[in-house]
Structure 1
Amino acid sequence: MSKEDVGITVSKNADFSEWYTQVVLKAKLADYAPVKGLIVLRPDGYSIWESLRSTFDKKFAKNGIRNGFLPILIPESLLGKEQKHFAGFNPEVFWVTHSGTNEIGDRLALRPTSETLAYTMYAKWIQSWRDLPLKINFWNTALRAEIKATKPFLRTSEFLWQEGHTVHTTQEEAEKEVMKILEIYKNTVEEELAIPVTTGKKSEKEKFVGAVYTTTMESIMPDGKALQMGTSHFLGQNFSKPFEVKFADKDNVEHFAWQTSWGVSWRLIGAMIMAHGDDKGLVLPPNVAPTQVVIVPIYKNEEGKEKVLSKVDEIKKQLETKEIRVHVDDRSGLSPGYKFNDWELKGVPLRIEIGPKDIEKQSIVIAKRHNREKSTLSFNEIEKIFTILQEIQKEMLEKAKEQAKENTIEISNYDEFKSKIERGGFFNAPWCGKLECEEKIKEETGADIRVIPFGSENEDLKCMYCKEQSLSKPVFARGY
């Protein structure tokens, strides 16, 4: 028996980091590549990404966004056009310096992000107001030198993501786009992955380098650490000016354009694993599960096998007419108990058990993965499984919301904050808006401002750190 056939050997509460890694590997979502910091996606892991991609693509298309492709190599001379932006990525950049044995001269960066490349092309494509708005999304990989403290899906040197880049004639239109995208992200993560998020803005210190401001969505994980789930940036004219992204208006007067950029990565898969998994392994929300229902036939002899498999095939076809993703586990030489544990490890939302006695009773046994409840359904109730999957999806989101609520703390006393931050959580605390207070809090506690929630303006309280008048109540937390 191989190591990956052994179940999870640590408790989620006892060793969260080791538990997480075991779930990724043993549920066969991904594996480590030969190069440090890189992972290989296995079919189930990639299927989840494809599901998210499909959902995003449909929503992007409704918003007038089309997909394109960008190459991975960016000349260093191009990056120098927006030095402040690129300086933020410089320590993480992989460089190509040779072609074969020959030096190439102008070094080539392996894309850490694509603003400079995309906007060089946009400057060529845009001449007049008739070319705008220009809205393109790119499904890419990005590379950043994450060699230390790597974690599958959460922190790797190469990762899958989408990055959108839009160009507009007015500031107002661009800012509306920023919020539209953030809303698409929020709805998708909550509806597909059953993970609640808090949306708002990043502080000046934490915003995307080169942006006027950054909007973000943040989630609190069961271990009390925050995870950035996605960002949408208003770039203003900070890139259009150095890259000369200009348009002529209806009076043939030339203007610099207004721009946005935004992205999510396969970090969303890591969040899903952490938010829902348990000591048995992965727990998948039905909407993104590669297999939504697994059928385990139970029989002792050939006569029973033929009878059971005939009924199983009938049930499978019935479920597939409802577009439910079904798998029949008819592997020989393995006990039903082994198969049950195997599918629980892989997180399949619903298991159907059926044997000769069940056929006599004209019923099946169903087992829900998220709460491990078992019940029976009669043969004429099979179609209820579609509704049951919808209920599971809803229940998983409600449970995650409850966990997030339990991990969210209102606080205004800094000494109390310091004593509680070790346990983790989202801390809603008053802040004066000053960079020095933000930096001191980070330096002394390891917690930073994850998000300043929309509507969190507050001038009635005193800053948690300096006791001067507060401006807002950001979420402070330690993060991944």
Structure 2
Amino acid sequence: MKRALSVTREENFPEWYQAVVDQADLAETSPVRGCMIIKPWGWGVWELVQQALDKRIKDTGHENCYFPLFIPMSFIAQEASHVEGFAKEMAIVTHHRLKAVDGKLVVDPSSELEEPLVVRPTSETIIGDAFRRWIASYRDLPVLVNQWANVVRWEMRTRLFLRTAEFLWQEGHTAHASKDDALEETLKMLEIYRELAEDVLAMPVMVGEKPENERFPGADATYSIEAMMQDGKALQAGTSHYLGQNFAKAQNIRFQSATGELEYAHTTSWGVSTRLIGGVIMTHGDDDGLRLPPRIAPKQIVIVPMLREKPEDADLLAYCEKLKTELDGLSAFGLPVRAHLDKKPTRSANKRWDWLRRGAPILLEIGPRDMAGDNVTMIRRDKLRDGDKVISTGLAREQFLAQAPGLLAEIQKNLFDEAKARLDGNIRADLKDFDAIAAFFGAASEDDEKSGFKGWVRAPWSRPTGSELEAIEARLKALKLTLRNVPMGQGQPSGACVFTGKPAVEEIIIARAY
């Protein structure tokens, strides 16, 4: 049977990705260049991701709040490396009024703002200004806040979910009395992100610290979770930053210590965004479309009655309504099962493929014969085909109801296990010099997105800095390679750094990336 998409992952991964977004009805481009409209199915996925993460954030003592979309330019300029890191991506508001001239709307030059406003690319500076006012004593610490918001970074090359000029995220910001407390916070939230990615999104990740050249602008240390996509590229799926006292000193965030001395606070920030949905697509999708882990599927079990525009359709719908009610009363992953009855007067085959392309974990097709035998015909999205044949399983209704929660858990685990095997099986650790790494990845083509699966390299690393690191970055850039992170929990490596020849102190992940 022909695949549901017109292009396969192997033929053209970027086109396949766009086809999945389109066919799964997740999002579409907007009239504003580089921005996206998230459609109801895509928003349903984001809501479930948001709810899972929001609970974890609150369970660790943080409170939600909100800060302005507009940030005075003088705030951004307070931390030198911060402004340098974001300068090329900032959208700026300079005027506040339009006027009509010869029937056309133009900017009124007399409405120039006294100070330009930056459209929020990230909120360290404006939140730091609030911390300066909120914090006076060690008794006021720690301050633990989070906001769900949109941000704007003026990207030149955009792709839905993965990189857009405007995107949605959460950004946590905290202030602490000591470096140890702030670092503990940074790593705690990194672990929350790992748990979200692996337990909720079924997306295995490599957890580690970013090298100096990949740190968040203004941070003392940046940690990330990196996921392997089906084309072998890395996706940075979340970051957590120890900002040291850099922003505190720039914004005068000070507190009186228990001994009466004035000290600068230690701050952190951390965030994940709608790019996670892009990661789910590229981790789990197949040539028939999206496959959603049940934990983030807006509809986990979809019932498709095989309607024939005959009087007996009413009885069939009543049977399906009863089944939906029974499913609604079940629990999976500690929450009510999300069942849906598709009553649209559309051919059953069309409805089937609509839901399969959208990634619904379980599809139940029910016709008059099923109803007469009190049965259901089940299709699992994670095990859709045997060769070209779509696999369907007949079950007694009571049997399916007893198995449904366990089946959803099994699908969740299967998707994770499949992705984990891909990650673990495609990291080369036997390449001990740069020439071997360069040969493995091959020369960068004009469009390396179509260059075939390569995977990652894990190599000895001496933690170079300064000009030495800049030279390494240039060598990697020529091959369109990047340093991803230094995996945590590793032992002492043997051998020499693949770049400097100096004794290695750790190992680092090298990959092409989104």
Question: Contact conserved, 1:294 with 1:326, CA < 8 A, in 2?
Answer: yes
Q: Please say if residues 437 and 466 of structure 1, whose CA atoms lie closer than 8 Å, have aligned partners that are also in contact.
A: no
* Map of 2:18 onto structure 1: 21
Residues 430, 458 of structure 1: 8 Å contact kept: no
Question: Which amino acid is 2:69 matched to?
Answer: I
- For each residue in 1:167-224, what CA deviation from the matched residue of structure 2 results, as whole angstroms up to 9, or x when unmatched? 1111111111011100000001111111000001000111111111111110111111
Residue 369 (structure 2) aligned to one of 353, 357, 360 = 357
Q: Give the alignment of 1:316-331 within 5 angstroms.
A: 316-322=324-330, 323-331=336-344
Q: What per-residue deviation string (whole Å, max 9, x for no partner) do you get for residues 240-261 of structure 1?
A: 1111111112343221111111
Shift of 1:105: 2.5
- Conserved 8 A contact 2:307-2:348: no
2:251, 2:309 → 1: CA distance?
Answer: 73
Corresponding residue SS for 2:312: helix
Residue 115 of structure 1 corresponds to 124
- Displacement after TM superposition at 1:436 (Å): 4.8
How far did residue 289 of structure 1 move? Answer: 0.5
> Counterparts of 1:270-309 in structure 2 under 5 Å?
270-300=278-308, 302-309=310-317
C-alpha deviation, 1:8, in angstroms: 2.3
Secondary structure in 1 matching 2:243:
strand
The offset of 1:454, in angstroms, is: 1.0
Alignment of 1:85-96 (within 5 A): 85-96=82-93
Instruction: Mark the CA change 1:28 to 1:299 in structure 2 (over 3 Å): closer, same or farther.
Output: closer
2:208 to 197, 200, 208: 200
Letter in 1 for 2:505: L
Question: Which of residues 266, 271, 275 in structure 2 aligns to 1:267?
Answer: 275
Tell whether the 8 Å contact from 2:426 to 2:455 is kept in structure 1 after alignment: yes
Distance 1:443 1:231, change over 3 A: same
Correspondence for 1:420 among 440, 449, 457: 440
**Aligned 8 A contact 2:293 2:415 in 1:** yes
Quick one: which amino acid aligns to residue 24 of structure 2? Answer: A
SS of equivalent to 2:174: strand
Match in the other structure for 2:135 = 126
Change (3 A) 1:459 1:195: closer
Q: Which amino acid aligns with 1:114?
A: S
Q: CA deviation at 1:443?
A: 3.4
SS in structure 2 opposite 1:287? helix
Q: CA deviation at 1:404?
A: 1.3
- For 1:52, which of 28, 49, 53 is the aligned residue? 49
TM-score of the aligned structures, taking structure 1 as reference length: 0.95
Contact 1:123 1:246 in 2 (8 A): yes
Q: Secondary structure at the match of 1:236?
A: coil
Q: Secondary structure at the match of 1:240?
A: helix
Q: Which amino acid aligns with 1:286?
A: P
Shift of 1:338: 1.3
Range with greater deviation from structure 2 (234-243 or 458-467): 458-467
Mapped to 1, the partners of 2:256 and 2:347 lie a distance apart of: 71
Q: Which string of whole-angstrom CA distances, capped at 9 and with x for unpartnered residues, describes residues 102-139 of structure 1?
A: 11121110011100000001101111122111000011
- What does 1:369-380 correspond to in 2, within 5 Å? 369-372=381-384, 373-380=391-398
Which residue of structure 2 lines up, in the alignment, with residue 69 of structure 1? 66
| Cross-structure match for 1:343 | 355
Deviations 1:282-309 (A, max 9, x none): 1111000111111011243534312211
Report the 3-state secondary structure (helix = DSSP H, G, I; strand = E; otherwise coil) of the residue aligned with 1:52: helix
How many Å separate the matches in 1 of 2:20 and 2:161? 12
Deviations 1:254-274 (A, max 9, x none): 211111110001110000011
Q: Which amino acid aligns with 1:81?
A: Q
Q: Is the 8 A contact 1:220 1:407 kept in 2?
A: no
The answer on whether the counterparts of 2:225 and 2:239 sit within 8 Å (CA) in structure 1 is: yes
Give the conservation status (yes or no) of the 8 Å contact 1:458–1:471.
yes
Q: For 1:66-89, what per-residue CA distance to the aligned partner results, in whole angstroms no more than 9, with x for missing partners? A: 000011111111222112211110
The alpha carbon displacement at 1:280 in A equals 1.0
What is the CA-CA distance between 1:407 and the residue it aligns to? 2.2
Deviation at 1:437?
Answer: 5.7
Match of 1:388 in 2: 407
Tell me what 1:366 maps to: 378
1:471 equivalent in structure 2: 505
2:81 alignment partner, one of 84, 106, 116? 84
Which residue identity lines up with residue 380 of structure 1 in the other structure?
A: E
TM-score between both structures, scaled by the size of structure 2: 0.89
Q: Distance in 2 between matches of 1:460 and 1:416?
A: 17
Identity of aligned residues (%): 37
Across the aligned residues of Structure 1 and Structure 2, the Cα RMSD in angstroms comes to 1.5
Moved more, 152-161 or 352-361: 352-361
Partners of 2:372 and 2:96 in 1: CA distance:
70
Which blocks of at least 5 consecutive residues in structure 1 are unaligned?
Answer: 1-5
The whole-number CA distance in structure 1 between the counterparts of 2:480 and 2:50 is 34
Contact 1:68 1:137 in 2 (8 A): yes
Which stretch has the larger CA shift, 463-472 or 107-116? 463-472
- Partners of 1:239 and 1:463 lie apart in 2 by 33
Letter in 2 for 1:405: D
* Letter of the 1:362 counterpart: D
Distance change (3 Å), C-alpha of 1:448 and 1:458: farther
Find the counterpart in structure 2 of residue 240 from structure 1.
248
Residue number in structure 1 paired with 2:34:
37
Identify the match of residue 482 of structure 2 among 416, 426, 448: 448
Cα distance between partner residues in 2 of 1:212 and 1:55: 29
In the TM superposition, 1:7-18 aligns within 5 A as 8-18=5-15
